[in-house]
Amino acid sequence: MSIPAVDLPVPERVRALAGSAALTPVWENGIGGLTFRTDDGRFIKWGPRHLESTMRAEAERMVWARTWTRVPAVLAHGEDERHEWLVTAALPGRSAVEPHWIARPEAAVRGVGAALRALHDALPAAQCPWSWDVPERLANAARRGVVVPPALHERPPVDRLVVCHGDACVPNTLLDDRGRGVAHVDLAALGVADRWADIAVASMSTEWNYGPGYEELLIEAYGVAPDPERLAYYRDLWNAT
CA distance 130 to 193: 10
Instruction: From 70, 69, 64, 114, select the one nearest 223 (Cα to Cα).
Output: 114
Give 79's Cβ-side CA count (13 Å radius): 13
167 is catalytic: yes
Q: Is 29 annotated as a binding residue?
A: no
Question: Which residue among 121, 167, 177, 198 is the active-site one?
Answer: 167
230, 207, 202: which is closest to 114 by C-alpha?
Answer: 202
Classify residue 135 as exposed, middle or buried by CB count within 10 Å of its CB (0-12, 13-18, 19+).
exposed
Answer yes or no: is 194 a known binding residue.
no
Rounded Cα–Cα distance for residues 183 and 237 (Å):
26
Q: CA 179, 180, 182, 185 torsion: positive or negative?
A: positive
Phi and psi, residue 231, nearest 5°: -60, -50
Decide: helix, strand or coil at residue 139: helix
Catalytic residues: 167
Query: Which residues are known binding-site members for Mg(2+)?
Result: 172, 186
Binding-site residue set: 172, 186
